[in-house]
Amino acid sequence: MSWTLQQIRELKVGRYMVIDDEPCKILELTTSKPGKHGEAKARIVAVGIFDGGKRSVVFPVTHKVQVPIIDKRNAQVVSIQGGEVQLMDMETFEMFNLHIEDEYKDKLEPGQEVQYQDALGRRMIVRA
């Protein structure tokens, strides 16, 4: 389990939440006052950290949502084959392959250390 549950009222701008099974960073969070027969609602605008897609949701402030546990780790580049890079985690020595994003195509070389993030079983290079 790589997520926890939190109420909407506990979230803040800059934190993370799961929308449509995608970990997202919260960009905007606005709340309305409770009505005569209803409860306060929160409107959240967030962007996916892996796909960059913008998402908007409305929930009651007492609603519980999933908050992903994002793990930032270091790895060493072992080899590069076409559009994929083989990495070795510096703590666990686990080997895995990742797709190379366009911004890192010319920056990666074998033996170099990179930082990657792991959230909900998905990984992405964040710094070379």
Q: What is the pLDDT of residues 39-56, one digit of tens each?
A: 899 999 999 999 999 999
The pair phi, psi for residue 90, each rounded to 5°, is -75, -20
pLDDT value of residue 128: 84
Q: Please tell me the distance from the alpha carbon of residue 25 to that of residue 105, in angstroms, as a whole number.
A: 25
Strand order in the sheet with 22-31: 16-19, 22-31, 41-48, 54-60
| 3-state SS class at 32 | coil
pLDDT value of residue 70: 93
pLDDT value of residue 43: 96
Q: What is the pLDDT of residues 72-112, one digit of tens each?
A: 999 999 999 888 999 999 999 999 999 988 888 888 889 99
What tokens appear for 106 in the block? 């010319």
Question: Is there a contact between 84 and 95 (Cβ–Cβ < 8 Å)?
Answer: no
pLDDT value of residue 36: 81
Per-residue pLDDT band at 4 (split at 50, 70, 90)? very high
| 3-state SS class at 128 | coil
pLDDT of 1 above 70? no
